[in-house]
Structure 1
């Protein structure tokens, strides 16, 4: 089934007249009739009943119509968005990401974006998830890359991929040679983690509780970079997304299980604010980069 088949079907379903439907889609009546027959053969059931010169839509046709309309609407919206993104587009795009994505994902996406829209100035901030949500709500940001907010607050969240969190230790740490570690084995372990108000920390606390482990949290920080540096210089361990490491020297990342802590990053934007063509193009760029690079997998 091709897109044209759905457009031909929709034209006939709305006019119930082969002549008018053919005029609407700019083909001959015989071409339209042939394409409809092809579609019916592929679906294995008649979509229209022909009684003399009268055309009636069947039950199967009505059911198909209900599904075709939203599909074509999405296709038309996508095509319209591309047409609204001219090469000479100018202005400013304000985006924010948490540290995990600002290390590798954002630079990759910016390199693609800037090649296509070199006249658009991009302002990138590295913020916490709560700060990103606040910036989107008050209109200071156009797009965010973060995790699903606990309170939606009029924000739209689109999942991008699943992200596994791993234990990190210095290369000289006793656990550095382990290939895998169960969460319960971190009972009593000296650790540095994000502060309790971070959603990632809350997820880890839930995982520790599920495993029956009580690590010894000796340092709580509000950013990933200093936490990684602290792990490198001490006997402490931590848990972060591997994407946040960017090939850090002297650091070993070890998979965790029972349970495996997993987060789902995604795109965030305000449902109230009108999205600019540059914002839509950046969102599409991020989707493509994530898909092509198999990010998080």
Structure 2
């Protein structure tokens, strides 16, 4: 099946007139008729009922029409994106992300993208996954870079890599010499954790309950940087992604087991919404940076 067959089919389905459809796709009426016949032979189904004075879609044609239209629309978007991939974009791009990803992955992606497209105005909204998704549904965000949400209804999630959650302590903490920790060993220990509104906190709480551990949650915060600064100074621990510790000297990362904890960051799109060349270009940058992080 060739692209032109889909274009010819859609033109005839729209016009239901061979003369008008042929003019629309700039071929002769006989060429259009011949190519429609070839498409029907390939599919093994008649798509049109042809009468002396009328043309109508068959049941098979009615079923094929929305799928053909959707496929051709996606292809046309891809062609437009390829054509625009080497051009400098102008305008605005609004990105939603979480506080952890905004400490490493997002700034690297923004730096690369803004250097390639200096006329673009980039805005970044930091929030919980639920808040970001609500903003995207309301049209305030173009795309989201966040951890996989629990509810994916009406969304497409494109995973990028998996990252490990670890216990972080300072060099004076009783756990400092440990190579690994079982989750249950956090029972009764002083912890600082992300606020309960974050999906990561929900994941941590579920893992603690599963292990039968009830730590003392001394401080809850919406700032990863503040949480890590507190651990640097106080005899308490926290649970964060290993990548979040990169710029915090003096903190030690201790792997967890029983259970281990992992998160999956990815791109979140609205299902059924078209992606502009700008969005596609930024997503390509994200994939490239994420691949280096996963390999490193």
> What is the aligned residue count?
237
Structure 2: runs of 5 or more not aligned: 6-40, 43-67
The CA RMSD measured in Å over matched residues stands at 2.9
Structure 1: runs of 5 or more not aligned: 1-9, 15-55, 58-68
Q: Which residue of 2 is the match for residue 119 of structure 1?
A: 119
Deviations 1:81-126 (A, max 9, x none): 2213452321000112112111111121122212322221111222
Partners of 1:293 and 1:164 in 2: how far apart? 13
- Does 2:290 match 1:290? yes
Partners of 2:291 and 2:75 in 1: how far apart? 19
* Aligned partner of residue 95 in structure 1, secondary structure: strand
TM-score, normalised with respect to structure 1? 0.71
Partners of 1:173 and 1:199 in 2: how far apart? 27
* Aligned partner of residue 255 in structure 1, secondary structure: strand
Partners of 2:183 and 2:78 in 1: how far apart? 44
* Aligned partner of residue 100 in structure 2, secondary structure: helix
Partners of 2:216 and 2:127 in 1: how far apart? 27
Partners of 2:75 and 2:239 in 1: how far apart? 41
Partners of 2:142 and 2:73 in 1: how far apart? 24
Q: How does 1:102-251 map to 2 (within 5 A)?
A: 102-152=102-152, 154-251=154-251
Q: Which residue of 1 is the match for residue 29 of structure 2?
A: none
* Aligned partner of residue 191 in structure 1, secondary structure: strand
Does the CA-based 8 Å contact 1:133-1:149 persist in structure 2?
no
Partners of 2:88 and 2:204 in 1: how far apart? 46
Does the CA-based 8 Å contact 1:145-1:268 persist in structure 2?
yes
TM-score, normalised with respect to structure 2? 0.71
Residue 130 (structure 1) shift: 2.0
Change in 2 beyond 3 A, CA 1:74/1:258: farther
